[in-house]
A and B are shown apart, each in its own frame.
Chain A
Amino acid sequence: MNKDAQIRAAINQKLIETRERECLKELLRAKLIECGWKDQLKAHCKEVIKEKGLEHITVDALVAEITPKGRVDSSMNFNTCLDSCSYHYNQALVPDSVKKELLQRIRTFLDQHASL
Chain B
Amino acid sequence: MGLRLPSKVLEHILSFIDSNEDRNSVSLVCKSWFETERKTRKRVFVGNCYAVSPAAVAKRFPEMRSLTLKGKPHFADYNLVPDGWGGYAWPWIEAMAAKCPSLEEIRLKRMVVTDECLEKIAASFKDFEVLVLTSCEGFSTDGIAAIAATCRNLRVLELRECIVEDLGGDWLSYFPETSTSLVSLDFSCLDSEVKISDLERLVSRSPNLKSLKLNPAVTLDGLVSLLRRAPQLTELGTGSFAAQLKPEAFSKLSEAFSNCKQLQSLSGLWDVLPEYLPALYSVCPGLTSLNLSYATVRMPDLVELLRRCSKLQKLWVMDLIEDKGLEAVASYCKELQELRVFPSAPDLDEANIPLTEQGLVFVSKGCRKLESVLYFCVQFTNAALLTIARKRPNLKCFRLCVIEPFAPDYKTNEPLDKGFKAIAEGCKDLRRLSVSGLLSDKAFKYIGKHAKKVRMLSIAFAGDSDLMLHHLLSGCESLKKLEIRDCPFGDTALLEHAAKLETMRSLWMSSCFVSFGACKILSQKMPRLNVEVIDEHPPETRPESSPVERIYIYRTVAGPRMDTPEFVWTIHKNPEIGVSHLAIK
Chain A complexes with chain B: no
Tell me the A residues contacting B by CB distance below 8 Å.
Answer: none
